[in-house]
Structure 1
Amino acid sequence: MRKTTVALTFLATLAAGTGLTAMAAPADAGAPERGRGTNVLVVGIDSRAGLSAAEKRRLNVGGKGCNCTDVMLLVHLSQDERRASVVSIPRDSYVAYAQDSEPARLGKINGAYALGGRPLTVKTVEKATGLRIDHYLETGFTGFEATVDNLGGAVVCTTEPLKDDNSGLDIPAGVHRVDGRGALRYVRARHITKRPGDLGRMRRQQRTVSDLLTKLTGEGALADPLSTARTVRTLLKTVRTDDRTDLEDLVRIGWAVGRLSARQTEFATVPLKEFDHRVPGVGSTLLWHDARAQALWAALAADRPITGDPRIQPVGEAATPANPPWIAVRVDHAKTAAALRKSNFAVTDTSKNAPAVRPAGPPVVRYAPGRDDEAATLAAALPGARLEAVPGHDAGFDVAVGTGPATVRTVTYDRNVADGAPATGDRLGCAGTMGRPGTPTGPAPAKPHTG
């Protein structure tokens, strides 16, 4: 089974915010013309070469590698160094490879590396996006563990328990301090019940990038050229660059990113229109949403922000953060129960046990703390409902219809909105996700290596 290579998530934080335009190589023949700002392609390769059986067990990375790009981030650096946009490109994106063949060969974007290594990977991304790639960074997924440990650990967070046997992730709701192994489990997980597949995983990777950037900036690791050089030397133990990117370049990158606030970084995933497009001989693939994806690449080409652009991610009036079929609801009013069932909620009609005297006012929704996405989804379907988080409540949601009207409206769940819509780092990171988190729990991270 394929496992994610995730060392690149940290690299994206260093790729954000640099003025590398003057250092880019001359345009190749046939490559897209340079736009405003700079584009850096950061990839992780799915390879287990050199890992012993014991290392594979320790890191939960069994299986066979594909020698393909398992994770791909396109980092756009604005010309004025005041904004960085990080876009996750799903590995199963179905695209045309940039090969000299007619008709063009189609396949998953991660397969370009196996066919033609770095050159074909870069050219395929350029062909698919219309953007010129100025710099390229590559690493194996095991490098992520060492990088996090060398930098003193990381903080991860979740509003609900997360468990994935494949990656070894098993954490309760809250904010957690983790070492490199724990961070690796968090960003690799893709078999979580309510956020299965790559979209949820890519969002967690983006959150990790944002929080690592906040950590480095807060600790002064990128505060000046000397401290940045120390950080870069640590990274270069696990990072491979192209022939246009050297130590001096990365120091300039890191120093620039140290001047960015979380509000000046933004993250998104390429909008998708089909999540299981079957192709004979290729398997299950992902199709980009033509209009939304083109709007995303056009914004980057024009050096514009991607957050707040309705052409990239239009949000419907009743868009919800959770999928109604995931939400088990007990409703004590037959008509309301039937209406919510038509909106695809998992409804149990408990009207036979309804109280003889109903509470005054609109419906009341009671649920366990930490189920905010589901509660917000149910509230969107029941305009005016009162939400009550009840400690010790079970996993279901109870709707008590009151004396007031219980209007039910149809809600729309869009996985692009829930897991990949453009968001700034201050909203995406743990501080934005969890409010103001308390002291992280978990083992103390490894001490940084400064050699």
Structure 2
Amino acid sequence: MRRLTVALALLATLGSGSFLGSQAVSADRATSGHGRGTNILVVGIDSRAGLSAAEKRRLHVGGKGCNCTDVMMLVHLSQDQRRASVVSIPRDSYVEYAGTAGTTGGTGEAGPPRLGKINGAYALGGGPLTVRTVEKATGLRIDHYLETGFTGFEQAVDNLGGATVCTDRPLKDENSGLDIGAGVHHTDGNSTLRYVRARHVNLRPGDLGRVRRQQRVVTDLLGRLTAEGALDGPVNTARTARALLKSVRTDEGTDLRDLVRIGWALGRLRADRTEFATVPIRLFDHRVPGVGSTLVWDEPRSAALWQALGADRPITGDARIQPVPETAAATNPTGIAVRVDDAAVAAALRGSGFVVTDTSKSAPAVRPAGPPVISYPAGREEDAATLAAALPGSRLRAVPKDDKFFDVTVGTRPVVVKTVTYDRNVADGAPVTADRLRCAGTPARPEPALASQTGSVAKSSR
């Protein structure tokens, strides 16, 4: 249980601000476990209230807080208590607030509903309105609500002896103070906070990348607690739950017994029975006057996600939530400039979105033997893999280059050009189990036992 209660505390504190006091959701949520499974909404609040100037400097959280939710995760525990699904809801999700329709003039008629970023519900009505808004947007009933802030997260990570974070490229974000090199790092609470708060990193900026980093940190910490043998009976479980309540606020319908029951169940799950995902997004920069840049959910895919949770089904492997393209691209082809010495291949690659320059007029009279060769700037291996996916069987060659171009030299073999599909939801938020989410190079965690349980063929113009 200690594994779960600490994890819930971490979920609630990731990137958040100081909590502003307990917010009662409603008395009718006191009974959990009804219906199909149990849903817990965990949020972190962006507020600097109560932080001294020294704390703000140490945590690198200068500036003005918004008194809004900065982190939001919906935790679903299955009815049979053999699976947990953690769904991150990006703070900029554009939704309709619950119960905010006003009246028009003096007619008494209902006015239009109020829409905005989901994180703004807290500023309008605290925890109760946040819960009702999530319920309205998802169609799910929230059984329990937890809320907390910055310093609790820092202290929790330090008490656990730090965390493991990872990145395949250097990450830097002046807003959060993050500045780490490529690789796997052991970080203290302060550095881990910067890692999970960063939204303006040089690599894949925005909420989805940040959310995935948060999920990786939670997975690592859960693994560490499991390895330490933290599940050692109800007495310690209750003790940990009491400690949790010192830094995490709950609604009136959630008490110590609820935390012990939920924790005891989640603490017994294997890593492959714990799922993480982010709500699928259709529009990543939807501009709304007076609101700013928002994220618009992919309606069919997000609906399938909530339906799966409502029906108590797994979210991993559900093609309605995460369609599997025939040829997936790890990076966006529109950001890859390619020079191709064959007109037909150039045209086919352009159809997949690559930025193509046709250099066939300067192609050699005698083609080199074998498949195409992709010469790419060293350090851009992910983009090279995307181009190679479009040209199956091609050979990759990293070369020192001062320009940004990827050069494709077509050989004597017939070239098949695949239509690649880039989906940012796949890159940063696809449903995945905890055993696949952990940082590469970190040891797998020991698992507790369950209680019971279409391409086109481009003809070369040579």
The corresponding residue for 1:428 is 437
Aligned partners of 1:402, 1:230: CA distance in 2, in Å? 68
Equivalent runs, 1:12-411 vs 2, <5 Å: 27=28, 34-99=34-99, 101=101, 102=110, 103-229=112-238, 231-329=240-338, 331=340, 336-337=345-346, 339-346=348-355, 359-365=368-374, 373-387=382-396, 397=406, 399-411=408-420
Aligned partners of 2:9, 2:400: CA distance in 1, in Å? 36
> Does the 8 Å CA contact 1:229/1:251 hold for their aligned counterparts?
yes
Render the CA deviation track for 1:217-246: whole Å, top value 9, x for unaligned: 111223433444454455334211222223
Aligned partners of 2:9, 2:97: CA distance in 1, in Å? 24
Letter in 2 for 1:255: W
Render the CA deviation track for 1:120-142: whole Å, top value 9, x for unaligned: 11111111111110000001133
Letter in 2 for 1:39: N
> Does the 8 Å CA contact 1:190/1:198 hold for their aligned counterparts?
yes
Shift of 1:257: 2.3
Shift of 1:349: 6.7
Letter in 2 for 1:41: L
> Does the 8 Å CA contact 1:159/1:370 hold for their aligned counterparts?
no
> Does the 8 Å CA contact 2:140/2:310 hold for their aligned counterparts?
yes
Query: Residues 328, 308 of structure 1: CA spacing in aligned structure 2 closer, same or farther, 3 A cutoff?
Result: same
Render the CA deviation track for 1:413-451: whole Å, top value 9, x for unaligned: 121222111111111221xxx2x4489xxxxxxxxxxxx
Task: Decide which moves more: 142-151 or 239-248.
Answer: 239-248
The corresponding residue for 1:445 is none
Aligned partners of 1:216, 1:300: CA distance in 2, in Å? 27
> Does the 8 Å CA contact 1:320/1:414 hold for their aligned counterparts?
yes
**Matched residue SS, 1:132:** coil
Aligned partners of 1:301, 1:438: CA distance in 2, in Å? 34
Structure 1 gaps, min length 5: 1-6, 14-23, 440-451
Aligned partners of 1:261, 1:69: CA distance in 2, in Å? 30
Letter in 1 for 2:234: P
Aligned partners of 1:392, 1:226: CA distance in 2, in Å? 61
Shift of 1:146: 1.3
Aligned partners of 1:219, 1:354: CA distance in 2, in Å? 62
Task: Provide the TM-score with structure 1 as the length reference.
Answer: 0.82
**Matched residue SS, 1:58:** helix
Shift of 1:292: 1.2
> Does the 8 Å CA contact 1:336/1:406 hold for their aligned counterparts?
yes
> Does the 8 Å CA contact 2:75/2:85 hold for their aligned counterparts?
yes
Query: Residues 324, 167 of structure 1: CA spacing in aligned structure 2 closer, same or farther, 3 A cutoff?
Result: same
> Does the 8 Å CA contact 2:281/2:296 hold for their aligned counterparts?
yes
**Matched residue SS, 1:410:** coil
Task: Provide the TM-score with structure 2 as the length reference.
Answer: 0.80
> Does the 8 Å CA contact 2:11/2:73 hold for their aligned counterparts?
no
Letter in 2 for 1:204: R
Shift of 1:53: 2.6
Query: Residues 399, 118 of structure 1: CA spacing in aligned structure 2 closer, same or farther, 3 A cutoff?
Result: same
Aligned partners of 2:242, 2:160: CA distance in 1, in Å? 11
Aligned partners of 1:304, 1:408: CA distance in 2, in Å? 37
CA-atom RMSD in angstroms: 3.3
Matched residues, percent identical? 73
Aligned partners of 1:80, 1:32: CA distance in 2, in Å? 14
Aligned partners of 2:378, 2:249: CA distance in 1, in Å? 44
Shift of 1:209: 1.7
Letter in 2 for 1:180: G
Shift of 1:117: 0.8
Task: Decide which moves more: 131-140 or 227-236.
Answer: 227-236
Query: Residues 377, 137 of structure 1: CA spacing in aligned structure 2 closer, same or farther, 3 A cutoff?
Result: same
Letter in 2 for 1:343: S
Aligned partners of 2:379, 2:152: CA distance in 1, in Å? 33
Aligned partners of 1:273, 1:159: CA distance in 2, in Å? 26
* Structure exhibiting the larger radius of gyration computed from Cα positions: 2
Task: Decide which moves more: 320-329 or 114-123.
Answer: 320-329
Structure 2 gaps, min length 5: 1-6, 14-24, 102-109, 445-462
Query: Residues 104, 367 of structure 1: CA spacing in aligned structure 2 closer, same or farther, 3 A cutoff?
Result: same
**Matched residue SS, 1:407:** strand
Task: Decide which moves more: 418-427 or 231-240.
Answer: 231-240
Query: Residues 218, 368 of structure 1: CA spacing in aligned structure 2 closer, same or farther, 3 A cutoff?
Result: farther
Task: Decide which moves more: 95-104 or 262-271.
Answer: 95-104
Query: Residues 171, 230 of structure 1: CA spacing in aligned structure 2 closer, same or farther, 3 A cutoff?
Result: farther
